[in-house]
């Protein structure tokens, strides 16, 4: 194999390797509850029973976010507590690394959470 063909093959392998990496996925954190919109979320470093509730890194009245990569880098996990208009609560453990969770609140006071 000539040098140029070998270099081309290595480049192709490197490109395929990069494209085969897992894409950043959005985590479905708060399950949908028809007729009962999401009203509040709380983010924990670990289990909620540890009472390590995290304050958003960028808090705001209608939008904000938590940076979470450092929790996973330290060997821990994140749990998100979802609270709905009907008073029901759902806890979701996020065992796989999430770098950031963003929230937005629209004019109807509907909260949306997006974690990547």
Q: In this model, does residue 60 exceed pLDDT 90?
A: yes
Mean pLDDT of 28-51: 91
Q: Which residue has 């629209």 as its token pair? A: 106
pLDDT tens-digit map of 86-115: 999 999 999 999 999 999 999 988 899 999
Dihedral over alpha carbons 91, 92, 97, 100 (to 10 degrees): -70
Spatial distance between the Cα atoms of 111 and 89, rounded to a whole number of angstroms: 14
């Amino acid at each position: 194999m000539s040098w140029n063909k070998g270099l081309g093959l290595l480049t192709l392998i490197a490109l395929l390797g990069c494209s085969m990496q897992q894409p950043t996925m959005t985590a479905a954190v708060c399950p949908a509850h028809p007729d009962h919109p999401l009203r509040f979320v709380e983010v924990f470093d670990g289990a909620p029973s540890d009472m390590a509730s995290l304050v958003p890194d960028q808090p705001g009245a209608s939008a904000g976010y938590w940076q979470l990569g450092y929790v996973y880098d330290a060997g821990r996990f994140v749990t998100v507590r979802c609270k709905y208009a009907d008073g029901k609560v759902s806890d979701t453990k996020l065992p796989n690394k999430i770098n950031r969770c963003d929230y937005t609140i629209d004019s109807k006071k509907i909260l949306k959470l997006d974690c990547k």
